[in-house]
Homo-oligomer: A and B are copies of this chain.
């Protein structure tokens, strides 16, 4: 089975160089993959010319426009020939099975909603990411698709998260938590308190509130939150890890005493080298576990198509892994699984936007 993945060659901070490198890397690793690079053809060809590409299952579809990272979501409406829009149309028409972009998250979501639409039963799509914990990572959603969701949207996120965790990631019987400002029931914003009650009645394996300090403890496989809080938390993790590394390094190389200490310690450290080298595989494994690039990209759950969105600062490895996630989602039948899973769940919880809260139509 060939999986055709559209890659937005213009998305991310170093496009088209990084997407092209990531695509070639993915093609070397994944035999079933066919990549369709979408974007400004001359720039893509110039980038491809720097690599050996003969015989690779790779094609180019030209798109003259680019939605820049800082542009408003609305740009996808004005730029009808943007790489994001052209790529999304390829998925809609069945010429490709999945869409991957490191570009403007808001624009990708808007284009997905407009061109692919939503899965029946889902009012709002959610962006899900794998959050590293000591054991099995957990799936955190939403991390940025909806800044102001309603309580029943969080229940829909939980349902999609459970189906994705169980059927695509292969984690059996995932526990569901809701991010809150205290572990006791009754803690939380109005949104969280109402969603808590709905989740209790949802038939899901709901364990209750999860505090910010407990995310990394791996006490739930699926944690739901609104896209505002989720986005703040996931960026906070990124900021904290890089801050700690920089901070400790700066503190330990700052003063004269530090430099004297490092000089004095050097012979010993050299002697210790063979032993320290033995620790390297563990250290590498640890950092890989914490490295967002390993997880590649965040699936946009709830739209009628496999859409994976990566970090704008992704490197080629992250692009490669985002494509890997897309291929896996296609091969595991993610869309069918979510459709089927939702149908079997709706008996338990017939929640969706009521007339008072009209279904959000894809108005972008």
Give A contacts to B, CB under 8 Å.
Answer: 70, 72, 133-134, 144, 147-148, 179-182, 184, 186, 188-190, 192, 211-217, 226-229, 231-244, 246-248, 250-252, 254-255, 257-258, 260-279, 281-283, 285-286, 289-290
17 A-B Cβ contacts within 8 A?
A134-B250, A148-B190, A179-B232, A180-B228, A189-B226, A189-B228, A211-B232, A212-B233, A212-B235, A216-B239, A229-B229, A232-B233, A236-B236, A237-B240, A244-B290, A257-B278, A264-B274
Q: How far is the CA of A99 from the CA of B284 in the complex (A)?
A: 49
Q: A212-B234, A240-B241, A252-B279 are in contact. List 9 more A-B contacts (CB 8 A).
A: A72-B186, A133-B243, A134-B247, A213-B238, A251-B286, A257-B278, A257-B281, A264-B275, A268-B271
Chain B, residue nearest A266 (CB):
B275
Q: Specify which of A133, A212, A242, A258 lies most central, judged by the most chain B CB atoms within 10 Å of its CB.
A: A212
Q: Which of these, B235, B240, B247, B261, contacts A278 with CB under 8 Å?
A: B261
CB atoms of A261 and B275 under 8 A apart: yes
Q: Which of these, B179, B214, B241, contacts A244 with CB under 8 Å?
A: B241
Point out the residues of chain B lying under 8 angstroms from A252, CB to CB.
Answer: 279, 282-283, 286
Point out the residues of chain B lying under 8 angstroms from A179, CB to CB.
Answer: 232
Copies in the complex: 2
Q: Which of these, B242, B244, B247, B267, contacts A272 with CB under 8 Å?
A: B267
Chain B, residue nearest A234 (CB):
B212
Chain B, residue nearest A133 (CB):
B243
Chain B, residue nearest A249 (CB):
B286
Q: How far is the CA of A276 from the CA of B252 in the complex (A)?
A: 10
CB atoms of B213 and A235 under 8 A apart: yes
CB distance from A140 to the nearest CB of B (A): 11
CB atoms of B254 and A231 under 8 A apart: no
Contact of A239 with B212 at beta-carbon distance under 8 Å, contacts A72-B186, A283-B252, A286-B251 already known: yes
CB distance from A270 to the nearest CB of B (A): 7
Q: Which of these, B182, B282, B289, contacts A255 with CB under 8 Å?
A: B282
Q: How far is the CA of A217 from the CA of B277 in the complex (A)?
A: 33
Chain B, residue nearest A231 (CB):
B181
Q: How far is the CA of A214 from the CA of B238 in the complex (A)?
A: 9
Point out the residues of chain B lying under 8 angstroms from A148, CB to CB.
Answer: 189-190
Q: How far is the CA of A9 from the CA of B296 in the complex (A)?
A: 50
Chain B, residue nearest A267 (CB):
B271
Chain B, residue nearest A239 (CB):
B213
CB atoms of B217 and A243 under 8 A apart: yes
CB atoms of B216 and A240 under 8 A apart: yes
Chain B, residue nearest A258 (CB):
B282
Point out the residues of chain B lying under 8 angstroms from A241, CB to CB.
Answer: 240, 244
CB distance from A343 to the nearest CB of B (A): 32
**9 shortest interchain CB distances as A-B pairs:** A268-B272, A265-B275, A261-B278, A264-B275, A213-B239, A268-B271, A212-B236, A212-B235, A181-B231
Point out the residues of chain B lying under 8 angstroms from A147, CB to CB.
Answer: 181, 188-190, 192
Point out the residues of chain B lying under 8 angstroms from A257, CB to CB.
Answer: 278-279, 281-282
CB distance from A193 to the nearest CB of B (A): 9
